[in-house]
Amino acid sequence: MKIERIGVRIFTHTTKKERDIDGHTHPGPARQTRSALLTITADDGSEGHVAGSPELLRPHLLDGFIRPTLLGQDPFLREKLWLALTHWQRGSTGQLTDRTVALVELALWDLAGRKLGQPVWKLIGGYRDKVPAYGSTMCGDEIPGGLATPEDYGRFAEQLIARGYKAIKLHTWMPPVSFAPSVAMDIRACAAVREAVGPDVPLMLDANHWYSRTEALELGRALQKLNYYWFEEPMEESSMSSYAWLALAPGDYDER
Residues 140 and 241 in one domain: yes
pLDDT of residue 178: 93
Residue 237's nearest CA partner among 205, 209, 202 is: 209
Final residue of a structural domain among 123, 153, 177: 123
Whether the Cβ atoms of residue 33 and residue 15 lie closer than 8 Å to each other: yes
**Alpha carbon distance 230, 57 (integer Å):** 36
pLDDT of residue 91: 87
Residues 114 and 139 in one domain: no
Q: Which amino acid is at 4?
A: E
Whether the Cβ atoms of residue 142 and residue 152 lie closer than 8 Å to each other: no
Residue 92, classed as helix, strand or coil, is: helix
Residue 255 lies in a domain: no
* Mean of the per-residue pLDDT values of the chain: 93
Residue 128 lies in a domain: no
Residues 31 and 116 in one domain: yes
pLDDT of residue 19: 80
Residue 242 lies in a domain: yes
- The DSSP code sequence of 94-162 is T-S-HHHHHHHHHHHHHHHHHHHT--HHHHTT---S-----EE-------TTSS-SHHHHHHHHHHHHH
Residues 11 and 117 in one domain: yes
21: part of which helix (H) or strand (E)?
none
- Number of folded domains in the chain? 2
75-113 pLDDT, tens per residue? Answer: 999 999 999 999 999 889 999 999 999 999 999 999 999
Tell me the average pLDDT across 166-187.
95
Residues 174 and 86 in one domain: no
**Alpha carbon distance 249, 225 (integer Å):** 16
Name the pTM for this structure.
0.80
Could you tell me the residue range of the domain that residue 243 belongs to?
A: 135-248
Residues 118 and 12 in one domain: yes
Residues 116 and 199 in one domain: no
Q: If 0-12 CB within 10 Å is exposed, 13-18 middle and 19+ buried, where does residue 148 land?
A: middle
